[in-house]
Amino acid sequence: MKDDNKESRPYLPAELRRALRKEVEFGCPIPECRSPFLEYHHFNPTWDEGKQHVQEGMIALCPIHHRKADKGTWTNDELVSFKRSTNRVPVRGKIDWNMNNAVIIVGNNFYFWNLFSIEAYGRELFSLKLDSNNNFVINAQFLDENLNPLMKIENNDILLDKLPRGDLSCSASGHKIRIESKKNKIFKRKPFFEINFNRIGINEFNNKLSKMDDESKNWILSGNQTKIKDGKIMTVSLTSFIFSRKNTISIKDNYIEVNINNPLYKVPFRISNNSNQGGININLGEPIFKIGCKTM
């Protein structure tokens, strides 16, 4: 059987990718695998035979099992049975990125201090901490409107014990993890949480600091030479839209917006290079939103 060659192939529509992920409950369906990092395999017909995207003849698989399926490891009937299985173990995956010396980007806030956390409604949504082996690891959770966790990341392990009402999308390369819930009736938007991992060149990183003057850019780069490895900087970027009752928090590409019963707070551009700078804390009778560096 020929490989499922991707050259000259039309882009796979987002709705089809979403349907294929949901079909296998957001994890590779090969027994005992359940990795959330998925690709999309054509088997009936193969891409070479049909040159078309047909959901019934496609299946979401992790990269390792995709390569095996390309070589004919499983028959069409076996792949169909994997698609239809109702006896699956929970989704489990591992973040392989080395977060040591990472720069955390949240909206237009850049954090150069490795120990870091972000909280909302009194709950920690994301943190970068040292584990027992002194390696930096991610802990995170995505909450529904009742503040119940839909997905967790514990010490770089992705844990999904119950299906999200929306979608879980983890790129096969591991550079993006995104989970979203159904559209909320009040805000007409889908709550989501997304983490992007990248190693980027100095010029690209400079572009991310475009709002800063040259002196500040030079200060950051010269003061953080230890973060430059092989001419690149490790970045972890967070974006999200979360809500509880009538409060919303949006972390966008270039700013953070907190809407608390109509008052709107736009968080200004900030840089933190140590554990005592750059913190944000909005508290109106209850802890609404907190972001910053931590000493642990």
Residue 29 sits in which domain range? Answer: 14-89
* Domain shared by 82 and 211, yes or no: no
* Domain shared by 155 and 257, yes or no: yes
One digit per residue, the tens of pLDDT, for the chain of length 296 reads 344 544 556 789 999 999 999 999 999 999 989 999 999 999 999 988 888 899 999 999 999 999 999 999 999 999 999 999 988 899 999 999 988 888 888 876 777 766 788 887 778 888 888 888 888 899 999 887 777 788 899 999 999 877 667 899 999 999 999 998 877 666 677 888 999 999 999 888 877 777 666 665 666 666 566 677 888 889 999 888 876 655 677 777 666 777 655 555 555 545 554 444 445 555 545 555 666 554 33
* Domain shared by 122 and 261, yes or no: yes
20: phi then psi, degrees, rounded to nearest 5: -70, -35
Distance CA 155, CA 152 (A): 10
* Domain shared by 157 and 184, yes or no: yes
pTM surpassing 0.95? no
Amino acid code (one letter) for 175: H
* Domain shared by 133 and 280, yes or no: yes
CB-based contacts of 25, cutoff 8 Å, min separation 6: 88, 91, 163
Q: Is residue 289 in a domain?
A: yes
| Domains held by the chain: number | 2
Q: How far is CA 44 from the centre of its chain?
A: 31
* Domain shared by 170 and 267, yes or no: yes
Q: Is residue 34 in a domain?
A: yes
* Domain shared by 84 and 107, yes or no: no
Q: Is residue 1 in a domain?
A: no
* Domain shared by 63 and 110, yes or no: no
* Domain shared by 36 and 173, yes or no: no
pLDDT at residue 2, as a whole number:
40
Q: Is residue 9 in a domain?
A: no
Report residue 65 as tokens: 């099992």
pLDDT at residue 154, as a whole number:
94
Neighbour count for residue 173 (Cβ, 10 Å): 10
Q: Is residue 4 in a domain?
A: no
Distance CA 18, CA 104 (A): 28
Q: How far is CA 108 from the centre of its chain?
A: 18
